[in-house]
Amino acid sequence: MEEKVLPFMEHLVELRKRLIVCVIAIVIGMGVAWNFSNDLLKFVEKPLTGKTYLSDIKKTLYGEVKKRYPQAYQQFKLEEDHAVAEKPRMLNYSAPLEPFFVQCKIAMLAGLIIVLPVLFHQFWLFVAPGLTRTERRLVVPFVTAASASFCVGAMFFLVIIWPVIINFSLSYEAAGLQSWYNISSYINFCLRLILMFGVIFELPILALLLSRFGIVNYKMLATKRKYALLASSIVAAFHADLVTMFVIMIPLYLMYEISIWVALLFGKKKPPVAEAEPAEA
């Protein structure tokens, strides 16, 4: 009995050690991120002004249509298109210390992203005893690729998707309807989606590891496309508005498609089957 329990206890001790290192790293990262958390808040607030890359693209396209196709411009009444008004909008808070706790949340997430290499390295060290010597040498590529993928997913959301969501929300403003965003709801929504997009962009890295270890392969993933689409729809359905559902579902399924190609190109190759020698007469 003791021989069976001992390895399990060793795993628990190792897990506790890795978790302690991760917590300490996140706290240090949060301390570093605290210094520029206000700048991050201002960056997240930018779409509230109504001036985004969407408004610039729309203005340029409408200008070209008006110059090249004036009849179509008048026929479709593009001059009456109600674009989001560009004006200063501010976040609001209604509870004492609410901005302080919001700043803590921003610093915590930013600190977590800063120390991602440490977190992924600790994860690798935890699973390393079950890997072969050749597989253990993949630690640097894994940590680098996993950290970069999460950051790319977070930046993709903040730069491309976040302005779309806010611009769509602001488009409902009218004479009797004015936006009045609460800072906690606004930031919580943004941070949750940053985490989600970071995790979504980790799917190709996960597929790469699993395919290299022979757990999954190209055919297995390719035949499960319909289930991946269904799972993407279910995950996206947890968000109330239709726009957010689509901006989550589409990238999530695209990452699955990329994962299929990653498994095809970098997956573990099956050794060629040797042909049986003909029996001697």
Q: Does residue 48 register a pLDDT over 70?
A: yes
Q: Mean pLDDT across the stretch 3-12? A: 64
Residue from 189, 199, 192 nearest 151 by CA: 199
- 121 vs 6, more confident: 121
Any idea which residue has 């695209």 for tokens? 254
Each residue's pLDDT tens digit, 166-192: 988 888 887 778 888 999 999 999 999
Phi, psi for residue 81 in degrees, rounded to 5: -65, 130
Return d(Cα 100, Cα 194) in angstroms, integer: 20
CA angle 69/70/75 to nearest 5° reads: 100
Task: Give the per-residue pLDDT at 122.
Answer: 94
Q: How many CB atoms lie within 10 A of CB 28?
A: 14
Q: Does residue 113 register a pLDDT over 60?
A: yes
Confidence of residue 5 (pLDDT cuts 50, 70, 90): very low
Task: Give the per-residue pLDDT at 4.
Answer: 42
- The H or E element containing residue 3 is helix 2-33
Comparing 22-31, 40-49, 83-92, 104-113, which segment has the lowest mean pLDDT?
Answer: 83-92
Q: Which DSSP state fits 244?
A: H
Q: CB within 8 A of 187, min separation 6: which ones?
A: 41, 44, 102, 105, 106
DSSP codes, 149-212: HHHHHHHHIIIIIHHHHHHHHHTT-BTTB----BHHHHHHHHHHHHHHHHHHTTHHHHHHHHHH
Q: Hey, what are 117's tokens?
A: 């290499």
Confidence of residue 2 (pLDDT cuts 50, 70, 90): very low
- 65 vs 38, more confident: 38
Q: Percentage of the chain surpassing pLDDT 90?
A: 42
Each residue's pLDDT tens digit, 143-156: 999 999 999 999 99
Q: Percentage of the chain surpassing pLDDT 70?
A: 89
> 210, 259 in Cβ contact below 8 A?
no
At position 16, the amino acid (one-letter code) is R
Q: Mean pLDDT across the stretch 224-232? A: 89
Q: At what angle do helices 242-266 and 203-212 cross, to 10 degrees?
A: 30
Each residue's pLDDT tens digit, 246-275: 888 889 999 999 999 988 887 766 655 554
- 142 vs 174, more confident: 142
Each residue's pLDDT tens digit, 49-83: 888 887 788 778 878 888 888 887 777 766 666 66
DSSP codes, 60-103: HHHHHHHHH-HHHHHHTTGGG--PPP------B--STTHHHHHH
Tell me the average pLDDT of the chain. 85
Best mean pLDDT range from 83-97, 147-161, 239-253: 147-161
Phi, psi for residue 92 in degrees, rounded to 5: -130, 155
Q: Mean pLDDT across the stretch 102-122? A: 96
Task: Give the per-residue pLDDT at 80.
Answer: 62
